[in-house]
Each structure stands twice: as C-alpha cells, then as structure tokens.
C-alpha cells in the first residue's frame, strides 16, 4: 500500500524544478507522477503549481509514466493519526448514559423545569459535552446512550 507523507511540503529545489517544467506539460505530468509514486500527496504537488488537487490527480491517472531519477523522497512516511485515541468510557459512566438516554429522549421544550425528562436532558447534555471535551468520541457516546451518531453530534455541538 502506498503511504503518503501528510503535511509535508515539497522541498524548495523541487518546487523550482516543477515551476520550470510548466512550459512542457508532458514532462510536468511525468514528474508529478514520479512525485506521487514516491509518496508525496496530490495537494503537496499541486500547491506550488497553484493547481487543484483534482487537476494533479488527473495528471497522475493519465500515466503510467516512467519513474524519474532524483525524485525527493518524503522524510517521514509514518502514519499520523488525525484524531487522538479516545480514552473510552468506564462501566459506571456507560450505565449512567444508558439510564439517562431513554428519559432524556422524552423531553419536550414545554415541560416544566422540575420534570424528570427536563432534568435528565440537561444532565445528559452537560455530561456528554464534558466527556467529549475530554476526548471521548461522539460515536462512543452515541452507542452508550442508545441514540444515533447525528443525534449525539447535535447534542454535543449544539447544532440545530
């Protein structure tokens, strides 16, 4: 599997070379293909050329071209997680969420402040927002509460 080097800009020498190739499109496409096969992202290739990622993708797909020598290799091709790992939920919190979920679902805006559904809804909202700020994923919160991902997303992010 081809592993790309995310968040790495192409070296300045290569940028200068790419800019000099703009007059000769077949050579530019071939160089872009070689850079892509070396592990550079389509965005990193297109950025110095001021071309969209989709344009560079079309150039790469128009290949295959012979691989060129002297193509820079990305420094670190290890995978970088975009989201940190979730700390998870303990059994006590899962039980509390699963108990609050069904009661909070019955809440309606016309209910009195003292109604159990109103209290459960507020507690569930504050608890899920607090857990999400601590790094617990929305999917884990939704599974523990017994609601859909979208419903939990709306609760946590206050999207209406």
Model confidence pLDDT, tens digit, residues 4-18: 666 788 889 999 999
Model confidence pLDDT, tens digit, residues 69-108: 889 988 765 666 677 788 889 999 999 999 999 999 888 8
Burial environment of residue 42 by CB neighbours within 10 A (0 to 12, 13 to 18, 19 or more):
buried
Domain ranges, ordered by start, for the chain? 1-80, 91-157
Model confidence pLDDT, tens digit, residues 35-58: 999 889 999 999 999 999 999 999
Rounded distance between C-alpha atoms, residue 2 and residue 99, angstroms: 46
CA distances from 142 to 8, 9, 57, 109 (A): 35, 38, 37, 22
């Amino acid at each position: 599997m081809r592993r790309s080097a995310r968040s790495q800009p192409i070296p300045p020498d290569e940028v200068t070379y790419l800019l000099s190739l703009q007059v000769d499109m077949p050579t530019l496409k071939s160089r872009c293909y070689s850079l892509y096969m070396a592990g550079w992202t389509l965005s990193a290739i297109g950025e110095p050329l001021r071309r969209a990622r989709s344009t560079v993708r079309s150039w790469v797909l128009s290949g295959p071209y012979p691989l060129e020598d002297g193509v820079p290799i990305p420094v670190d091709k290890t995978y970088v997680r975009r989201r940190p790992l979730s700390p998870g939920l303990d059994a006590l919190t899962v039980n509390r969420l699963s108990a609050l979920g069904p009661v909070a679902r019955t809440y309606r805006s016309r209910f009195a402040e003292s109604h159990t559904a109103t209290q459960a809804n507020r507690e569930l909202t504050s608890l899920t927002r607090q857990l999400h700020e601590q790094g617990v994923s929305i999917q884990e919160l939704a599974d523990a509460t017994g609601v859909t991902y979208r419903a939990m997303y709306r609760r946590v992010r206050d999207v209406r």
